Amino acid sequence: MQEQPVPGYTVLHKVGEGGQATVYLAERDHDGLRVALKVLDRRLRNDPVFLERFVREYKLVASIENEYVARIYDQGFSGDNPYIAMEFLPSGTLAGRIHEGLSPRAALRLMMQIARALDAIHSRGIVHRDLKPANILFRPDGRPVIVDFGLAKDLGVRSTLTIAGRLVATPRYMSPEQCQGLPVDARSDLYGLGVIFWEMLTGRRIYEDASPAELITMHVSAPVPRLPESLAGYQPLLDKLLAKRPEDRFQSAADLCGDITL
């Protein structure tokens, strides 16, 4: 019999499993609504830092009403199972679309849509801090949707939710200031978007063969990689997104959107 971790929801199958939580496709019993049911890993349920992050994720995302951010339906505790029920998005991830290949114009259009999502998030004083292709899903109409706010930060709230000696974001997409343990703001997410834009344009990962430790060093000090000649027209945009100093980047997602012509 399929595990039923949360009363009121019938699990259909496991969708994915990460270091902090397991996500199931489930149906809400009282109306049959299909949801993505995110359940905190049982090894972390007694860890106050991870538990508070998990609870805070619901509050942060529930405060954002935007077509490019996943809807949140419910959050609670079932015994010792903290869970979040959110919109189920069955149309794949940006990582999958990058693997299939994107035209430059499709990459630019997607980047613009993700920037609009970031603008909505940042206008609420929230920084995502873990933007990556696996955290961008799609609705059936093709609109990208940002998910997984487990590392997000509310800039209006003082917080000490850190874990000494543990790297919690994804090195491939971390901004230079994040790599150095410095304070981050909206411009850090724009750097992550620049890394994603590189992948969408080239079909390759930035600093492709680097180890996690090497990635951190390269984000801080390596030159912005050069696009092939056929894509050179996008280099100025990429240079500004991937500038090492936050003050040299676009200063907001709205500024970025204003600079793009589709």
**Distance in angstroms (rounded) separating the CA atoms of residues 37 and 236:** 41
Is 243 or 58 the better-scoring residue by pLDDT? 243
Say if residue 114 is in the same domain as residue 227.
yes
**61-65, 167-171, 194-198 — most confident range:** 194-198
Q: How confident is the model at residue 241 (pLDDT cuts 50, 70, 90)?
A: very high
The residue written with tokens 């259009």 in the block is 109
* Three-class secondary structure of residue 199 per DSSP: helix
Q: Which domain holds residue 47?
A: 9-87
CATH number at residue 131: 1.10.510.10
Residue 241 inside a domain? The answer is: yes
With a pLDDT cut of 70, the percent of the chain lying above it is 88
Say if residue 53 is in the same domain as residue 109.
no
**pLDDT, position 229:** 96
Residue 1 inside a domain? The answer is: no
- Residues with Cβ within 8 Å of 227's Cβ and at least 6 positions away in sequence, in order, are 198, 201, 202, 234, 235, 238
Number of other residues whose CB lies within 10 A of the CB of residue 140: 8
* Three-class secondary structure of residue 185 per DSSP: coil
Residue 165 inside a domain? The answer is: yes
Q: Tell me the per-residue pLDDT of 98-155, one tens digit each, with 9 for 90 and over.
A: 999 999 999 999 999 999 999 999 998 899 999 999 999 999 898 999 988 878 887 7
Sign of the CA dihedral with 44 first, then 161, 150, and 207 last: negative
Say if residue 81 is in the same domain as residue 104.
no
Say if residue 54 is in the same domain as residue 176.
no
Q: Tell me the per-residue pLDDT of 34-76, one tens digit each, with 9 for 90 and over.
A: 999 988 777 666 677 766 777 777 777 777 888 888 888 888 8
**pLDDT, position 97:** 96
Tell me if residue 130 is catalytic: yes
> Residue 145: enclosing H or E segment and its boundaries?
strand 144-146
- Tally of domains within the chain: 2
Decide if 9 contacts 85 (C-beta within 8 A).
Answer: yes
**Distance in angstroms (rounded) separating the CA atoms of residues 126 and 134:** 19
- C-alpha pair distances (Å), 260 with each of 104, 171, 196, 226, 236: 13, 27, 16, 20, 12
Say if residue 65 is in the same domain as residue 105.
no
Out of 26, 52, 87, pick the residue that ends a domain: 87
Say if residue 56 is in the same domain as residue 147.
no
**pLDDT, position 80:** 67
202 — phi, psi (to 5°)? Answer: -100, -20
**pTM of the entire predicted model:** 0.88
- Per annotation, catalytic residue among 130, 141, 154, 185: 130
Q: How confident is the model at residue 2 (pLDDT cuts 50, 70, 90)?
A: low
Residue 2 inside a domain? The answer is: no
Decide if 197 contacts 115 (C-beta within 8 A).
Answer: no
Decide if 148 contacts 192 (C-beta within 8 A).
Answer: no
**pLDDT, position 46:** 67
